[in-house]
Chain A
């Protein structure tokens, strides 16, 4: 039922199976195309037989901007998962895992130290998903999201910054066991 291939812009016309799901954010065109322009091989999709997109991952390889070089929050060369999503009908088949593993492999090939991502603190499914693949909480970003996914009375939600060390980090220097205790502000992450 699925084909894995690189994203192409026409796929934006076939996103309904993924993006009508409330936990999947829809961005402006320039956001998708920025990734496609700069890291085309890190933007991968799974498609069904009719060309509908049933899963995708959007990622990048980068360091924090140079101006933050001396900040304690500076991040060295790493891979980042900007978005990963799988359509409800195609979940629990390992598609999310396959897409993530591809990005991890690209991270290793690009000699990155680790791979990281942000996830809503209440997105338990996704957190379980990342944990099952060896990711752990590195820090908590307070009020990272401008809305709350489950509680409409709140106007913000914390994010977990989760990480998995890549091959280069032999000594596992870039992860923590007590990440939940490290809180930072949204202004400390870029």
Chain B
């Protein structure tokens, strides 16, 4: 990777250099510089001129001298002498393109700079040497420089030297750059140094800047971070309670960071008593005026406080104290900003739910109108009209017992807006009620177990629904249907009421959006859509009722036109359209979200994951589809060091240094990064077949090896999630398959590596002089690579969580590649002299041929064009990822066979004696495999042709609308009628149907451009 420091040009030459040479150098007149520098060197014998010469030669393209500088650097390193700093600068500039390839910074310039600093520790240049090493992420040299600086400036008022040293020693101790032998020493060293500093702080009355104690918030927090890494729990706990450096002491100084950070550590240790005491004391600081009143009045703190009290050694007394503190805050409530007022109200709710029921309801009076129900009611009295009301109470309502929930919905909620509610208030309550009813359908307390076999036949309904008393599955379909009808009625009521429509813009949230979400989600559930379990069917269509699923999409899409700014709804629709194979339309919906720059890492998988297998045509646009994503990574990961790391060092932000290093590590190993590389390559291969570079050689893949844990951080935070915590969240239902994972990312990466190996062809003019030796080398390389890829593919496929992390087509594809790589390995290593081919070869080829045959039967054949039904077509359009895997498997098979046969041909051509070449049996098996793959590919191409033909037929708008809303002259069921009302009937749905059909056509057109050979 190019070195940051010289990105903007060469270093300045020493001022002693004459004007003529200076100006040639600054003009970039490299050949003149070389000539002049050589002359000066001859005259003055000053090696600096020679350094100018060789460094400048490195700028001249295509000369043999380009690399001469490397020899000079090597000599410098070996000489053990203190180098000249200007020479170092020149050499480093000259070597910028070699660093990371021909030479490693940590073995050359890093140690040289450390050596220079040792001899010149007082020079102002020493700090830039530190910066230089840091920016190359050479922690060993940086630590050495920092240690030298610390020692030299022991009496300086600049505290940073000491903390640079400590921070770097710590960073090194947790880095792979540290040798195992030094790790322990460095760990101990950092703890000791900080302990000493902490003791100085504790024992001095007032700390001066020159004292080597812990003074700033950053210094204190660094100490605790190091303790967590390398210290003992006891020391952590003791220090946490100390008056000056403890969490409470720090809060008194206005420092909240330590308090926030320590709670997680305490929780993992189960230190509930300490958590309880800290939360209590911290909250009381606000009450007694030691801090501003609401300094720590966060919901998280309240929740921890209550949870810790229930776990505390003396839980009764602790819970009393919680209520006591809470009471005092409630008294302050009127002075609080709305935010804290709300936090206090939520804290009250939380406390009510966490206290033992004997405490809050000692006499067991009215179980249904319990204190829990009353508290939710009181909370909503204040907040029901607010945007977040549903999210605020959802979790609590889901915890209510059945009777409580019933009372809440029937007696409490309707009365919240008071005696004379406005129409708007009424509709807000209805929308809230519908959403909560939906959530309750996902809660086990609304169902009671019921024998599913009645009179010898299995009803398939193992529950009795407590809400509607019908026999039910989970969720209860009758309740969902009723919800749709109620929500649709309310929706239509709004649509028809001018007064209400006029009131909507003034509301926090459009109630129509919530009603639509209830209807949409209920329809999705009724359609049978479920999270993708490993055993889910190949085809989406076999699992669901298509018309109901399409109704959900139609309804939600209609709502998006009413509330286009709702990002949650938009994201949900993007997922649904991808599920449906309407990728170009999903893209149209995605673009206005303007996901760019930094947020791409977390949000891009929502659109781009698996995109090449859904709709390759998208990659044929004028601008490369994933360019912004690739550009983001190239920009953010350009340097070996974390972005802006020196800023954090020079500002004394030590916890920032640690967090930025951690963040950088995760970004370099992000699943989204792998997705970017893989999807682009897959798409390129679909059209051109061959790629310029191997995935391994991609600059962004530097940090990815088999044992790297790849990190996924997809942000689903904006999805409107009506589900309760008892089941999976909404994204698990509507996503095409399991989300990004370490396992899937590795498998996709390995698949690319395998294809790279198969596609390698030596350059045309490559004619090695010792052909036999070169061939042996190539073979050894191929075998080694195949073993590695095959072992890793098999390992990842067999990891216990993997089946849950792949779609069935993905499992098929990676399994096929694992078989193929094993087969190729055996095929090219089997001695020709062997009597027969091992059975494993014929078994594997047989199994692959069977797979190919099975896959072919799922394809549409040209003979069937005339009779392809609407359902069959839509089903195929939705199943493009499965279709894509058919092509991938067939092509992988073909390439594998071709690879083996090419080996055979090369060998026989090289050595005409008849002794070389592969085993006859192997060659035969490969030929058979190749032709089976070719057949499948031909059928796959035909499948696209059939789809194209069918989609070009006229009347698709009506065909789709017939599926979704029923045929025009036939009577529809009640649900369809309701959906139809909301979307303004068939006429209203036409525009939508047009977009869907158009998008399908575009998708098929894209597949039409794909290569099938």
Once A2-B299, A16-B567, A38-B651 are accepted as A-B contacts, the answer to whether A10 and B717 lie under 8 Å apart by CB is no
Bound: A42/B603 CA distance, A: 26
Q: Which residues of B contact A17 (CB under 8 A)?
A: 717-718
Q: Are A15 and B599 in contact (CB under 8 A)?
A: yes
**Cβ contacts under 8 Å, A49 to chain B:** 299-300
Asked if B656 and A30 make an inter-chain contact with CB atoms under 8 angstroms apart, the answer reads no
| Known contacts A5-B256, A5-B260; is-contact A13 B715 (Cβ 8 Å) | yes
A71 to B603, CA, bound (A): 44
**Nearest-Cβ distance from residue A82 to partner chain B, whole angstroms:** 14
Cα–Cα distance between A21 and B596 once the two chains are bound (Å): 13
Residue of B nearest to A30 (CB): B643
- The answer to whether A33 touches B644, judged by C-beta atoms less than 8 angstroms apart, is yes
Alpha-carbon gap, A10 to B659, bound state (A): 9
Mark A residues whose CB is within 8 Å of B: 1-6, 8-10, 12-17, 19-22, 26-30, 32-34, 36-41, 46, 48-52, 88-95, 97-98
Please pick, from B299, B388, B653, the residue contacting A90 in the complex, using a CB distance under 8 A. B388
Question: What are the residues of chain B within 8 A of A51 when measuring CB–CB?
Answer: 717
A-B contact pairs, 19 of them (CB 8 A): A3-B300, A3-B301, A5-B298, A6-B257, A9-B659, A10-B659, A12-B663, A14-B715, A15-B598, A16-B602, A16-B718, A26-B598, A33-B644, A37-B656, A38-B647, A89-B387, A90-B387, A94-B338, A95-B339
Selected from B299, B593, B596, B718, the residue in CB contact (under 8 A) with A3 is: B299
Min Cβ gap A108→B in Å is 12
B719 — nearest CB in chain A belongs to which residue? A16
Give B672's nearest chain A residue, CB to CB: A13
B389-407 at interface with A (beta carbon < 8 Å):
391-392
Q: Which residue of B lies closest to A91 (CB)?
A: B387
Set of chain A residues within 8 Å of B653, measured between Cβ atoms: 36-38, 40
- Nearest first, the 4 A-B pairs at minimum CB distance are A94-B337, A37-B648, A9-B663, A37-B647
Considering the chains assembled together, what is the distance between the CA atoms of A29 and B392 in angstroms?
A: 32
Q: Which residues of B contact A9 (CB under 8 A)?
A: 659-660, 662-663
- Decide if B718 touches A93 in the complex (CB within 8 Å): no
The answer, yes or no, to whether B39 is at the interface (CB within 8 Å) is: no
B217 pairs with A41, CB closer than 8 A: yes
Interface contact A98-B337, CB-CB below 8 Å: yes
**Cβ of B594 under 8 Å from chain A:** yes
Given the complex of chains A and B, what is the CA–CA distance between A30 and B338 in angstroms? 34
* Residues of chain A contacted by B603 (CB below 8 angstroms): 16
Query: Could you say which residues of chain B place their CB within 8 Å of the CB of A32?
Result: 598
Decide yes or no whether B343 CB sits under 8 A from chain A.
yes
Interface class of chain B by DSSP: helix
B599 close to A37 (CB less than 8 A):
no
B822 → A minimal CB distance (Å):
38
Q: Which residue of A lies closest to B718 (CB)?
A: A16
- Select one of A15, A37, A89, A97 contacting B645, CB under 8 A: A37
Q: A1-B343, A16-B717 are in contact. Are A6 and B260 (CB under 8 A)?
A: yes
Chain B contacts with A in 360-406, Cβ cutoff 8 A? 387-388, 391-392
Quick one: which of A1, A6, A15, A97 has the most chain B CB within 10 A?
A: A1
Contact check, B602 vs A13: say whether CB atoms are below 8 A apart.
yes
B609 lies within 8 A of chain A by Cβ: no
Distance to closest chain B CB from A187 (angstroms): 22
Shortest distance in angstroms between B804's beta carbon and chain A's nearest beta carbon? 23
Within 8 Å by CB of A1, from B299, B596, B599, B651, lies B299
What is the chain B residue whose CB lies nearest that of A109?
B254
- Which A residues are CB-close (under 8 A) to B632? 28-29
> Residue of B at shortest CB range from A6?
B257
Cα–Cα, bound, A10→B599 (Å) = 11
Q: Nearest-CB distance from A25 to chain B (Å)?
A: 9
* B554 CB-CB contact with A under 8 Å: no
Specify which chain B residues have a CB less than 8 angstroms from the CB of A91 in the assembled complex. Answer: 387
Please give me the residue from chain A that is nearest to B570 by CB atom.
A20
Bound Cα distance A21, B651 (Å): 32
How far is it, in angstroms, between the C-alpha of A77 and the C-alpha of B29 when the chains are bound?
44
Number of A-B residue pairs, CB cutoff 8 Å, is 151
Do A89 and B660 have beta carbons less than 8 Å apart?
Answer: no
Contacts of B986 in A (CB 8 A): none
The residue in chain A whose Cβ has the minimal distance to the Cβ of B345 is: A1
Q: Which of A9, A28, A38 has the most CB of B within 10 A?
A: A9
Give the docked Cα–Cα distance between A91 and B386 (Å): 10
Partner of B713, one of A3, A13, A34, A97: A13
Given the contacts A9-B663, A97-B337, A40 and B599 also touching, CB distance less than 8 Å: no
CB distance from A110 to the nearest CB of B (A): 12
| Complex Cα gap A13–B718 (Å) | 12
Q: A10 with B663: in contact, given A50-B717, A94-B338 (CB under 8 Å)?
A: yes
> Are B387's CB and A88's CB within 8 A?
yes
With both chains docked as a complex, state the minimum distance between the C-beta of A111 and any C-beta of chain B, in angstroms.
15
A21 → B minimal CB distance (Å) = 8
Residue B277 interfacial (CB < 8 Å):
no
Residue of A whose beta carbon sits closest to that of B600: A26
Contact B392 A1 (CB under 8 A): yes
Chain B 647-687: CB-based contact to A (< 8 A → 1; otherwise 0): 11001010110011011000100000000000000000000
Query: Which B271-315 residues have C-beta < 8 A from chain A?
Result: 298-301
Q: Are the CB atoms of B660 and A33 closer together than 8 Å?
A: yes
Cβ contact of A14, chosen from B256, B260, B717, cutoff 8 A = B717
Digitize B565-588: 1 where CB-to-A-CB distance is under 8 Å, 0 elsewhere. 101000000000000000000000
Task: Give every chain B residue within 8 A of A90 (Cβ-Cβ).
Answer: 387-388
Contact B656 A14 (CB under 8 A): no
Across the interface, B256 reaches (CB within 8 A) one of A1, A6, A92, namely A6
A19, A20, A33, A39: the one contacting B643 at CB < 8 Å is A33
| B635 contacts chain A at the CB level, 8 A cutoff | yes
- Decide: A1 and B342 in contact? CB cutoff 8 A: yes
**Given A14-B602, A27-B597, A37 contacting B718 (CB threshold 8 A):** no
Say whether B346 faces chain A, with CB atoms less than 8 Å apart: yes
| Contact, CB under 8 Å: B256 / A30 | no
Q: Does B977 contact A (CB under 8 A)?
A: no
- CB < 8 Å: which of A20, A40, A52, A95 contacts B567? A20
Tell me the nearest residue of chain B to A89, going by C-beta. B387
Distance between Cα atoms of A41 and B565 in the complex (Å): 33
CB nearest to B601 among chain A residues: A13
A1-B346, A3-B298, A5-B260 known; A52 and B717 CB under 8 Å?
yes
Q: Does B636 contact A (CB under 8 A)?
A: yes
A28 touches B636 (CB 8 A): yes
- Residue of A2, A51, A98 with most partner-chain B CB within 10 A: A2
Q: Which residues of A contact B388 (CB under 8 A)?
A: 1, 89-90
A28 to B346, CA, bound (A): 36
A9 to chain B, nearest CB (A): 4
* Contact yes or no, A12 B593, CB < 8 A: no
Output the least CB separation between B237 and chain A (Å): 22
Q: Which residues of A lie under 8 Å from residue B645 when comparing CB positions?
A: 37
Q: Shortest Cβ distance from B790 into chain A, in angstroms? A: 34
Query: What 1/0 mask marks residues of chain B from 189 to 232 whose CB sits below 8 Å from any chain A CB?
Result: 00000000000000000000000000001100000000000000
> CB-nearest residue of chain A relative to B257?
A6
How far apart are the CA atoms of A89 and B715 in the complex, in Å? 17
Contact of B715 among A15, A30, A41 (CB under 8 A): A15
Query: How far is the CB of B606 from the nearest CB of chain A, in Å?
Result: 9
- Point out the residues of chain B lying under 8 angstroms from A1, CB to CB: 299, 342-343, 346, 388, 391-392
B-chain residues with CB within 8 Å of residue A41 when the two chains form the complex: 217, 257
With A13-B713, A38-B647, A38-B653 in contact, is A20–B718 under 8 Å at CB? yes
